[in-house]
Amino acid sequence: MNSFLQTSLKKQDPEILSWIEKEEIRQERGLEMIASENYASQAVMEAQGSVLTNKYAEGYPQKRYYGGCENVDEIESIAIKRVTQLFGAEAANVQPHSGSQANMAAYLSLMKPGDRILGMDLSHGGHLTHGSPVNFSGQIFEAGFYGLSDSTDRLDYDQIREQAKAFQPQVIVAGASAYPRLIDFEAFGSIAREVGAHLVVDMAHIAGLVAADLHPNPIPHASLVTSTTHKTLRGPRGGIILGSEEQIKTVNKKIFPGIQGGPLEHVIAAKAVAFGEALAPDFKVYQQQVLENACALAEALQSEGFDLVTGGTENHLILVDLSSFEGGDVTGKDAEAWLDLAHITVNKNTVPREKRSPFVTSGLRVGVPALTTRGLKTSEMKQISSWIAQGIRSGGDLKKLESLKTEVISLCEKFPLYR
């Protein structure tokens, strides 16, 4: 149990504490393979659970609308200094409450309502905030989409260039939430320049790899780069925006007073702690292990007979195409539910040329950042791929899944999360 929760909450609100404890047990006793999740350190959680939650600080360091901001000013300035150093950016805004709000502020800094945005199709691995009609980005702006090449299931930069020339967007957004390959930000930058558009890169999924120089850095090629801080970057839930001094001046006004009120200084402190961790040499070792684990898992899944979209991975995630697995009858929805019963947490995902609905799907997205944080290495990836195959082959047989669960828990017990 996290010791800092034990005293007051136990006395005052045992009901909520009991749910937190149940969640802690769920996290301890399961293999977390949702590609966008990770385990923040105890230090990150302590900063986030601190007295900073009590402070209003609308504005920016040394330019606040409230008194008593001398301590949060220092904290926010440290967060900015660390994150700009981490990614080699000139300036940063560390106040976005989430990746969605980071994207909204970035777009509003570069476009007017009604302008055009060209983003990656959600069903090909993009994100809701890249122009989806059910999201602000597709409602405030006129959205067009690029997708994956039909022959390679990869981004085809010539095709994207042609689409950009025809659509004439003000902003091209690059970045994905379910794409297992490197993204060529230089190519995106050149396409954007060619059509007179701004490039926004949403590097939320791969930020940790970028910080460790294991994925090309988008900073030199983009007008603005956005990210969340809780995925491969392993910090608290939240967002950031990076860019030139000039661009960030505009972004600052769009975040506050544009779309947010008081910044969450407790989260900003936790971001600063996480950026400090990411600047330390062992973060690179962690990210290298993420890549090794992802490759080992991909190979092992292929040996089990699974087809992987693009045939493998170059980052932290893998897209499994179930439509060709042993008759193709198992849906992403079934596989997710069955694996959940065995304490393996994954999410169903559409695959290229998907025939099923997004609520059912023919694919699974699996990731290794959280498993790697808890210390698992390539030999465990082989074991896990066998459990995934057994879980899917079980056809939902509760006895088989129960016996898998016992094996999963015994592996988890060897790799405790918070010691």
Residues 158-177 within binding reach of ligand DSN (CB under 6 A):
177
Q: Is 350 in the site for ligand DSN (CB under 6 A)?
A: no
Strands, E assignment, 62-124: 63-64, 91-93, 116-120
Q: Is 263 in the site for ligand DSN (CB under 6 A)?
A: no
Q: Is 180 in the site for ligand DSN (CB under 6 A)?
A: no
Minimum Å gap between C-beta 204 and ligand DSN is: 6
Minimum Å gap between C-beta 309 and ligand DSN is: 15
| Of residues 205 and 343, the one with the C-beta less far from ligand DSN | 205
| Of residues 84 and 177, the one with the C-beta less far from ligand DSN | 177
| Of residues 333 and 382, the one with the C-beta less far from ligand DSN | 333
Q: Is 232 in the site for ligand DSN (CB under 6 A)?
A: no
Q: Give dist(CA 82, CA 254) in Å, integer.
A: 22
Element (H, E) at 139: helix 136-140
What are residue 167's phi and psi, to 5 degrees? Answer: -90, -25
How many CB atoms sit inside 10 A of residue 43's CB? Answer: 13
Minimum Å gap between C-beta 356 and ligand DSN is: 19
How many CB atoms sit inside 10 A of residue 270's CB? Answer: 30
Q: Which of 59, 96, 99, 119 lies at the binding interface for ligand DSN (CB under 6 A)?
A: 99
* CA-to-CA separations, 269 to 39, 212, 345, in angstroms, rounded: 17, 21, 29
Supply the residues annotated as catalytic: 56, 58, 202, 228, 231, 237
Question: Would you state the structure tokens that stand for residue 12, as one six-digit string?
Answer: 């005052």
Residues 126-155 within binding reach of ligand DSN (CB under 6 A):
127
Minimum Å gap between C-beta 298 and ligand DSN is: 18
Q: Is 361 in the site for ligand DSN (CB under 6 A)?
A: no
The torsion defined by the Cα of 223, 269, 129 and 127, in degrees rounded to 10, comes to 100
| Of residues 37 and 156, the one with the C-beta less far from ligand DSN | 37
| Of residues 229 and 372, the one with the C-beta less far from ligand DSN | 229
Minimum Å gap between C-beta 122 and ligand DSN is: 11
Residues 10-39 within binding reach of ligand DSN (CB under 6 A):
36
Q: Give dist(CA 287, CA 283) in Å, integer.
A: 6
Q: How many angstroms separate the first and last alpha carbons of the chain?
A: 9
Minimum Å gap between C-beta 282 and ligand DSN is: 25
Residues 35-64 within binding reach of ligand DSN (CB under 6 A):
36
Cα three-residue angle 66-69-72, rounded to 5 degrees: 135
Q: Give dist(CA 51, CA 223) in Å, integer.
A: 36
| Of residues 170 and 350, the one with the C-beta less far from ligand DSN | 350
Question: Would you state the structure tokens that stand for residue 176, as one six-digit string?
Answer: 């994905």
Cα three-residue angle 2-230-276, rounded to 5 degrees: 80
| Of residues 197 and 209, the one with the C-beta less far from ligand DSN | 209
# chain residues binding ligand DSN, by CB under 6 A? 4
Q: Is 125 in the site for ligand DSN (CB under 6 A)?
A: no
Contacts of residue 193, defined as CB under 8 A and 6 or more positions apart, other chains included, come to none
Minimum Å gap between C-beta 36 and ligand DSN is: 3
Binding site for ligand DSN (CB under 6 A): 36, 99, 127, 177
